[in-house]
Amino acid sequence: MSDATPLVTAFHDPDTFSNQYVIACPATKRCAIIDPVLDFDAKAGATATTQADSLLAHVEKEGLTIEWILDTHPHADHISAAAYLKERTGAPMAIGEKVVEVQELWKAIYNRPDFPADGSQWDRLFAEGDTFTIGDLDAKVLFSPGHTLASITYVIGDAAFVHDTLFMPDGGTARADFPGASASRLWNSIQDIMALPDATRIFTGHDYQPNGREPRWESTVGEQRATNIHLTKAEDEAAFVALREARDRTLPMPRLILHALQVNMNGGRLPEPEDNGMRYLKFPLDALSRSS
C-alpha cells in the first residue's frame, strides 16, 4: 500500500449527524466521494440535494475530478446521494459485495420478490482485500461486518474510512441490532481496524456530538485503542458483546430506517414515478418492533 497522504475534506450533515468525505490525491487532483447524503424531510416527504451539491461545489472549487462514488454500506439513517452524484458526474458507484445479502434480507421485509438482489445497481462490488486507486493513492478494502452484513472499510493511504464501526473515542462504537447485525462480528471487525498502524487516521461516518460538543470526525488508531469509551471497558469479545447488546436494547430504531433502506438497497435510486408522476415510499408495519 502507498504511504501517500490523501487530502480529506469532511462535510457534516446536522440533520442526520452524518459525515461525508471528499478524498483527493494531491498529485493528480483525482478524488473519491464517500457516503454522500441525499437530504430528506420525513414530515414533508421532501427530497433535496443540498448536501450533495456542496460536495460538487467543493470538487469544482478545488479543480478535482471524481473517480469514485463510494458507500461503506447500505445506510439506515440517511438516503444515499450516490445515484444523484453518478447522474451528475458519470463517476462509477461502488459498495461491498455483501450488499447482496442485505438486499435479500430487505426485499423480503418490503415484500418485493422481483427486486434484483444481485448488486447490479452498482458499477463495482468490492470484496475483502480488493485494491483500487484514486489518482496515485492506493486504496484497499477491509470487510467490516457487524453493524450490517455488508459494511466495509476503505483504507486509502494513511486514512481509514470506517463509517458505522467506530465513532469518535468519546462516542464509542456503532450499534449492532439491525436485521443481520452482530455484536460479535462487530468486535472482530474493530480488531482488524485496530491492527492498522497507530498513526492511521480514522474517519467516522457519524458524530452525535456527545455532551453537545462541536462535530468531530478524525482520530487515529492509537487514540481509539487508548481512549474509546467502549474499547477501554471491554477487555475481550464477550465483554464487548455484553456491553454492546445492553446498550442496543436502550436505543430506538433510526427515524429514517424504513425510508432509507428501500432506496439504499437500490443504489440510492428513488422509486420510479407512478402514473400520476408521483414517487411513493413503502412501509412494512411492525417489521422492526422489538417483540417481532
Please give the pLDDT value at position 118. Answer: 98
Please give the pLDDT value at position 289. Answer: 74
Residue 257 has pLDDT above 70, yes or no: yes
CATH number at residue 27: 3.60.15.10
Over residues 1-55, the pLDDT tens digits come to: 445 799 999 999 999 999 999 999 999 999 999 999 999 999 999 999 999 999 9
User: Does the pTM of the predicted model rise above 0.75?
Assistant: yes
Mean pLDDT over 94-117 rounds to 96
Over residues 47-83, the pLDDT tens digits come to: 999 999 999 999 999 999 999 999 999 999 999 999 9
CA distance 175 to 164: 8
Could you tell me the residue range of the domain that residue 21 belongs to?
A: 7-255
Per-chain mean pLDDT for the chain: 95
Residue 292 has pLDDT above 80, yes or no: no
> Could you tell me if residue 282 is inside a domain?
no
pLDDT: which is higher, 266 or 163: 266
With 0-12 / 13-18 / 19 or more C-beta atoms within 10 angstroms meaning exposed / middle / buried, residue 252 is exposed
Mean pLDDT over 103-121 rounds to 96
> Could you tell me if residue 285 is inside a domain?
no
> Could you tell me if residue 287 is inside a domain?
no
Residue 77 CB neighbours (<10 A) = 18
Residue 291 has pLDDT above 50, yes or no: no
> Could you tell me if residue 263 is inside a domain?
no
What percentage of the chain reaches a pLDDT higher than 90? 94
Quick one: CA dihedral 81, 83, 88, 93, positive or negative?
Answer: positive
Angle between helix 82-89 and helix 50-61 axes, rounded to 10 deg: 40
CA distance 229 to 173: 8
> Could you tell me if residue 272 is inside a domain?
no
> Could you tell me if residue 86 is inside a domain?
yes
Please give the pLDDT value at position 245. Answer: 97
Please give the pLDDT value at position 2. Answer: 47
Mean pLDDT over 255-267 rounds to 96
Residue 180 has pLDDT above 60, yes or no: yes
192-197 long-range contacts (CB < 8 A, ≥24 apart) are: 192/142, 192/144, 192/153, 193/142, 193/144, 193/153, 193/160, 193/162, 193/165, 193/166, 193/221, 193/224, 194/221, 194/224, 194/225, 194/231, 196/155, 196/160, 196/221, 197/158, 197/221
> Could you tell me if residue 288 is inside a domain?
no
What percentage of the chain reaches a pLDDT higher than 70? 98
Residue 159 has pLDDT above 50, yes or no: yes
Residue 290 has pLDDT above 70, yes or no: no
Per-residue exposure over 88-121, b if at least 16 CB sit within 10 Å of its own CB, e if not: eeebebbbbbbbbbbbebbbeebebeebebebeb
What the block records as the C-alpha cell of 12 is 457534516
Count of domains forming the chain: 1
